[in-house]
Amino acid sequence: MLRNAAVLDPEAGSLAEGQMVVVEDGQVVDVGPTRSEGSGNGAVLDAGGMTVMPGLVDAHVHVNAATADLAAIEAWPPSYLTAHAAGILRGMLDRGFTTVRDVAGADFGIAAAVAEGLLPGPRVLFGGRALSQTGGHGDSRPPGRTVLDQHPCAPSLTVIADGVTEVRRAAREQLRRGAHHVKVMLSGGVASPTDRIDSVQYSMGELRAVVDEARAANRYVTGHAYTAAAVNRGLEAGVGCIEHGNLMDASSVELFRSTGAFYVPTLATYAALASEGLEQGMPADQHAKVFEVLDAGLAALELAHRAGLPIVYGTDLLGGMHRRQLTEFILRAQVQPAAHVLRSATTVAARLVGLEGRIGVVAPGAFADLLVVDGNPLERLEVLTDPDRHLRLVMAAGRVHTNRLA
């Protein structure tokens, strides 16, 4: 139990002073004014002068992206990659992220390892391997290579599937392995050797087939896209969420509105890749593509914010750049008020992943994913972005990970 805390309500953008938060069996069971008598039989922590808030959600990560040279990972043994992923997951939890949505790479094994407490880390909501067409954003082969090794022990973040039959099978395969969503590549990307940023990928028939399969399993499809053309094709096919979207325009905003789709910008990764992508292992020809989308990202966010779209926190960082996971708060604060950015990493993220009331709030019935910070993030987002100084406690599913409360 936590006592004497100011409890943050991200949806209302308010703090309630003098509260206690009672935790039992990994869940919050009571939130209310601090009473003098004890409650329950767990440890009692005094959070006087501090803010208790829900753990953060990062809705665009790759826990297996251990280097910015994604093609290199495919030749690693899964055991070595898992050791890397363990460090990446621990770093995320150290920064206050208690749920992550992995949008290519993570599988049911890593999610189970965290859920069972074998690895410290945030809850992993995974989509398995992202679907890509031949020569698309998920095809890591250089043009001179034809061999494609899709053995399950080759730890690729993606699966190549072409044609309606193959994409249906690929989607069903991810869903069979427990995927929380299906990720599809709608356009070219930065970290791929043979496609253009402004290409559109997959036919409408293939996209509709993937959406069909996800809906049949009561799941949703999320799409990687940059240009308005790619974003719009995805939304027209029924994709429920768009990743990146740096080069979208007003026509895309209209489609977001009419479909209710979510938007996950990932500004942190472009800033990171521009400044240190080469030294982190990104091949030079891919690094050059960063500058086609870098500046447009903020304008796209502003467009989406003005339109009132449901915007979710995402970072998409690779390799040694994961330490920049909290910089997305600072980048977004250039065009969004702090309360909006906080909602994107809590309540709006919860809606996207279908865990409303379970994550992103401090309330009875929620998982006990709790942070204690020594300030009010509604007034100063820096309270979140400098965890060594301000983050005093991290609890994930009722387990205390960090405790620096005096």
Q: Which residues lie near Zn ion (CB under 5 A)?
A: 316
In the bound complex, what is the minimum distance in angstroms from residue 60's beta carbon to Zn ion? Answer: 6
Q: Which of 373, 361, 365, 260 is nearest to 326 (CA)?
A: 373
CA atoms of 392 and 215, how far apart (whole Å): 41
Q: Residue 146's CB: how many other CB atoms inside 10 A?
A: 6
Nearer to Zn ion, 316 or 369 (CB): 316
Nearer to Zn ion, 10 or 319 (CB): 319
In the bound complex, what is the minimum distance in angstroms from residue 184's beta carbon to Zn ion? Answer: 12
Nearer to Zn ion, 21 or 170 (CB): 170
Nearer to Zn ion, 210 or 383 (CB): 210
CA atoms of 223 and 218, how far apart (whole Å): 17
In the bound complex, what is the minimum distance in angstroms from residue 220's beta carbon to Zn ion? Answer: 17
Pairing of the two strands 262-264 and 130-132: unpaired
In the bound complex, what is the minimum distance in angstroms from residue 315's beta carbon to Zn ion? Answer: 9
Angle at 369 between CA 51 and CA 356, to 5 degrees: 105
Q: Which residue is nearest to Zn ion (CB)?
A: 316
Could you tell me the maximum CA-CA distance found in the chain, to the nearest angstrom?
Answer: 72
3-state secondary structure of 209: helix
Q: Residue 33's CB: how many other CB atoms inside 10 A?
A: 9
Yes or no: say if 68 and 281 are a contact pair by the CB < 8 Å rule: yes
Nearer to Zn ion, 223 or 375 (CB): 223
In the bound complex, what is the minimum distance in angstroms from residue 104's beta carbon to Zn ion? Answer: 6
Q: At a CB cut-off of 8 Å and minimum separation 6, what does 151 contact?
A: none
Nearer to Zn ion, 316 or 328 (CB): 316
Q: Which of 260, 249, 258 is nearest to 304 (CA)?
A: 249
Provide the 8-state DSSP code for 6: E
Q: Which of 291, 278, 238 is nearest to 261 (CA)?
A: 238
Starting at the edge strand that comes first in sequence, how are the strands of the sheet with 56-61 ordered? 56-61, 97-102, 123-126
Nearer to Zn ion, 139 or 316 (CB): 316
In the bound complex, what is the minimum distance in angstroms from residue 242's beta carbon to Zn ion? Answer: 12
Angle at 325 between CA 373 and CA 135, to 5 degrees: 155
In the bound complex, what is the minimum distance in angstroms from residue 113's beta carbon to Zn ion? Answer: 21
CA atoms of 366 and 390, how far apart (whole Å): 24
Pairing of the two strands 370-373 and 391-396: antiparallel
In the bound complex, what is the minimum distance in angstroms from residue 269's beta carbon to Zn ion? Answer: 7
Nearer to Zn ion, 31 or 65 (CB): 65
Nearer to Zn ion, 213 or 316 (CB): 316
In the bound complex, what is the minimum distance in angstroms from residue 192's beta carbon to Zn ion? Answer: 11
Nearer to Zn ion, 52 or 301 (CB): 301
Tokens 């209710």: give the residue: 260
In the bound complex, what is the minimum distance in angstroms from residue 201's beta carbon to Zn ion? Answer: 15
Yes or no: say if 206 and 164 are a contact pair by the CB < 8 Å rule: yes
Tokens 């990493």: give the residue: 345
